[in-house]
C-alpha cells in the first residue's frame, strides 16, 4: 500500500503522541527525530512508508493501524474504565492508549492468556463476530476431576441460562485429572465458566491459548505486549475463510 507524504505533526498525532498543539510543540522543541535525524519543523513532509519516529529515546515505526498482542495477566480488567482492578491498558505505552486501541474480545479479570488489541474496527469485527466463527482455545483447571461424562456433555452441548439452545464445544480434551482444553466458536459472556458449571464442575483457572490459528508465543511473559507483524496477521486472516473469498 502506498502512502502520501504527510506533515510531521500529523504523523505524530496519528500515532498517539498527543493533540495537534502538543505534537507541534514537541517538534519545535527538538524532541522528535525522523529516521534518526532531529527535525524541528512540524510542517516538514514525511513519507509514512519509510518513517521511524523517535521520542524520549524510543523508536516508533509508523503504523497506519495498530495490531497488538498481549499476554494478559490475572488481576486486570479488559476495560478503559476498570472498576475493581487495574486496566490492561495500564500495561501499554501511552501512545497506544491515546490512539484508541480496543480489546478484541475480553478476558475476565482472573483469566490469563492471549489478548488482541487494535484500533482497526473491521479487524475487531472480523475477529469477534459470531458469524465469522473464529475459534478460541482455552485451558481450564477445574475444581473437581474432569470425567468422561463431563467431556461428552461439553462436546454434545450444554444448556446455559438465557440461551435458546444447547451450546457445544468445537473440541474438548482432558489434559490431566482436573484440566481440559476447550475450543469454542462463540464468545459469550463467561462462556467457558458457564459451560463447565452446567456440567456440575467449576473453573478455578482459565487461560486462553490461541485465537484461530494464532497461538500465544511461549516467550511473551505475563503483562508483556508486542506488535502483530505481517506473518502474525496472515495467520489470523486464515481464521476467517469467508473474508478471503
Q: Report helix, strand or coil for 88.
A: helix
Lookup: cell for 186? 462463540
pLDDT score recorded for residue 2: 54
**Are residues 103 and 120 both part of a single domain?**
yes
pLDDT score recorded for residue 133: 81
Residue 73 inside a domain? The answer is: yes
pLDDT score recorded for residue 84: 84
**Are residues 202 and 145 both part of a single domain?**
yes
**Are residues 107 and 227 both part of a single domain?**
yes
**Are residues 72 and 175 both part of a single domain?**
no
Residue 27 inside a domain? The answer is: yes
**Are residues 122 and 240 both part of a single domain?**
yes
**Are residues 140 and 22 both part of a single domain?**
no
- Clarify whether 108 is annotated catalytic: yes
Residue 233 inside a domain? The answer is: yes
Q: Which helix (H) or strand (E) holds 227?
A: strand 225-227
Residue 91 inside a domain? The answer is: yes
Record the pTM: 0.90
**Are residues 194 and 226 both part of a single domain?**
no
Domain count across the chain: 3
The order of strands in the sheet holding 52-55 is 37-38, 32-34, 52-55, 58-61
CB–CB of 179/146 below 8 Å? yes
Q: Which helix (H) or strand (E) holds 151?
A: helix 148-156
Give the domain range for residue 57: 6-61
Of 47, 108, 120, 232, which is the active-site residue?
108
pLDDT score recorded for residue 245: 35
pLDDT score recorded for residue 244: 38
**Are residues 142 and 207 both part of a single domain?**
yes
**Are residues 40 and 149 both part of a single domain?**
no
Residue with cell 468445537: 170
Q: Look up the CATH number of the domain holding residue 240.
A: 3.30.70.580
Residue 1 inside a domain? The answer is: no
Residue 24 inside a domain? The answer is: yes
**Tens digit of pLDDT per residue, the chain (245 long)?**
556 899 999 999 999 999 999 999 999 999 999 999 999 999 999 999 989 999 988 999 999 999 999 999 999 999 888 788 999 999 999 999 999 999 998 899 999 999 999 999 999 988 888 777 889 999 999 999 999 999 999 999 998 888 888 989 999 999 999 999 999 987 777 889 999 999 999 999 999 999 988 999 999 999 999 999 999 999 888 876 454 33
Q: Look up the CATH number of the domain holding residue 36.
A: 3.10.290.10
pLDDT score recorded for residue 31: 96
Q: Phi/psi at 216 (nearest 5 deg)? A: -60, 125
* Contacting residues for 22 by C-beta, under 8 A, at least 6 apart: none
Residue 167 inside a domain? The answer is: yes
**Are residues 123 and 223 both part of a single domain?**
yes
**Are residues 170 and 191 both part of a single domain?**
yes
Residue 133 neighbours by CB distance under 10 Å: 15
**Are residues 71 and 115 both part of a single domain?**
yes
Amino acid at each position: 500500500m502506498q502512502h502520501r507524504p504527510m506533515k510531521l505533526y500529523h504523523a505524530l498525532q496519528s500515532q498517539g503522541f498527543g493533540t495537534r498543539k502538543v505534537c507541534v510543540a514537541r517538534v519545535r522543541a527538538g524532541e522528535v527525530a525522523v529516521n534518526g535525524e532531529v527535525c524541528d519543523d512540524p510542517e516538514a513532509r514525511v513519507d509514512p512508508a519509510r518513517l521511524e519516529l523517535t521520542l524520549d529515546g524510543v523508536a516508533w515505526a509508523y503504523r497506519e493501524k495498530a495490531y497488538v498482542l498481549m499476554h494478559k495477566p490475572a488481576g486486570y480488567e479488559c476495560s478503559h474504565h476498570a472498576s475493581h482492578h487495574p486496566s490492561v491498558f495500564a500495561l501499554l505505552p501511552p501512545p497506544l492508549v491515546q490512539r484508541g486501541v480496543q480489546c478484541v474480545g475480553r478476558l475476565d479479570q482472573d483469566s490469563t492468556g492471549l489478548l488482541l488489541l487494535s484500533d482497526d474496527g473491521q479487524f475487531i469485527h472480523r475477529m469477534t463476530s459470531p458469524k465469522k466463527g473464529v475459534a478460541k482455545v482455552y485451558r481450564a483447571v477445574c475444581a473437581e476431576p474432569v470425567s468422561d461424562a463431563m467431556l461428552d456433555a461439553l462436546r454434545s452441548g450444554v444448556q446455559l441460562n438465557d440461551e435458546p439452545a444447547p451450546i457445544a464445544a468445537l473440541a474438548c480434551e482432558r489434559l490431566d485429572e482436573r484440566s481440559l482444553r476447550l475450543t469454542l466458536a462463540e464468545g459469550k459472556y463467561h462462556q467457558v465458566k458457564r459451560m463447565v458449571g452446567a456440567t456440575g464442575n467449576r473453573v478455578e483457572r482459565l487461560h486462553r491459548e490461541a485465537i484461530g490459528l494464532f497461538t500465544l508465543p511461549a516467550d511473551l511473559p505475563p503483562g508483556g505486549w508486542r506488535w502483530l507483524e505481517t506473518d502474525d496477521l496472515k495467520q489470523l486472516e486464515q481464521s476467517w475463510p469467508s473474508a478471503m473469498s
